[in-house]
Amino acid sequence: LEAPTMAEIRLKLTESEYADTGRLGSISWLLDGINIEDLQYVVSSYILMLPKDVSAFQRAAVQVKRQKLAACISKFHEIVDAMTEGIEVHAGTEHMDDIRFCTTDVVEEVREAADIEDVLEEIDEEVPAEAMGIWMPSSVLRNEALALGLHTLQAEELELRKGQANDCLEKLWQALSHKAIIYRQHFRSADSIWTGTRSKQEALQYHIKIEKYQRARGLMQRLGADEDTLRMIYQDIQPHQLSVDKEVTEENRYGQGSDRLAWFWRVNNSHDLQEDVWMDEFYRVNWLKAKARWQRWEEELRLVQHEMGWTVSWFKYRMEEWDQGYQQATKPGHQAYAH
């Protein structure tokens, strides 16, 4: 299943931007909003990685990051009036993390890394920049957008959210394929608490990719994406689909005969952004496993067909044998038994 990247969708929308909307700059503005959302994830992840004893330098670094992010958000909202043509809009929606992916490892990592609430209270009492709501066309309900004339902006954001979801899935593949390597080579063999903690932090980076995808999918649904697209292409990711994959590191393990790849492994971008040796190895091993499984099923089908023929032939042979005994029997009792 071919899935266009964000860059390809951006190019397509930019080429037809003026013809479709009668104005220029809306695509760049929407991309700025999406990039600011990504920056909020970056700042949040940086704070989560802080140690328990936060130094003055680290607190100053957090403050600088928040100030820069707040300036970007303020500048972005200044352009809202121009893009909405003076329509009064409410504040942006605040994204909530999916609690299904708040696993024990994540909770332990947060507790080991820092007491986030204390850090936020000591640094700044106002709403931090990484938690601020950003106004986007998706902040308005679909029926309200039609009445306000914002449906064109929503259609553009919907296409960009598809590209965002596709890019997130690609990064999720790489994160999951590397996750098993990190656990096998670093985390299990860690010779110190520091090494184990750092390896665990690296392995938990894929949670950020999941949150970005889940956010993009939720906004696509809010923007009016049809149910078939959400059900067949951009499906909901389940926690059990994110287990550590051991195809490359433990190729001889038991119980892999019935393994199935999750749906998102079958969605491919039309152009690979970079060569990844572990991804190539991952797909190679899974392709060979799928081929072996298909050949085993094909062999099983032939055996079942032959077994059916053998069963019918055996019953026919026994029928002829008993019929012969019936013909040779001289006593009525023997004939009745053979019949």
What angle (nearest 5°) sits at the alpha carbon of residue 196, between those of residues 195 and 200?
115
Residue-wise DSSP of 172-213: HHHHHHHHHHHIIIIITT--SHHHHHHHHHHHTTHHHHHHHH
Q: In this prediction, what percent of the chain has a pLDDT beyond 90?
A: 18
Which of 62-71, 178-187, 247-256 holds the top average pLDDT? Answer: 62-71
Q: What is the pLDDT of residue 327?
A: 86
* Contact criterion met (CB below 8 Å) for 216 and 117: no
217, 230 in Cβ contact below 8 A? Answer: yes
Yes or no: say if 326 and 338 are a contact pair by the CB < 8 Å rule: yes
Average pLDDT, the chain: 76
pLDDT confidence of residue 228 = 87
Residue 231 — pLDDT band, cuts 50, 70, 90?
Answer: confident
Q: What is the pTM of this model?
A: 0.67
Q: How would residue 79 be classed by pLDDT, with cut points 50, 70 and 90?
A: confident
Question: 3-state class of 92 per DSSP?
Answer: coil
How many Å apart are CA 235 and CA 225, to the nearest integer? 12
Evaluate if residue 68 carries a pLDDT over 90: yes
- Residues 18-39 pLDDT 10s: 676 667 788 999 999 999 999 9
Highest mean pLDDT among 150-154, 209-213, 239-243: 150-154
Looking at per-residue pLDDT, the higher value among 61 and 239 belongs to: 61
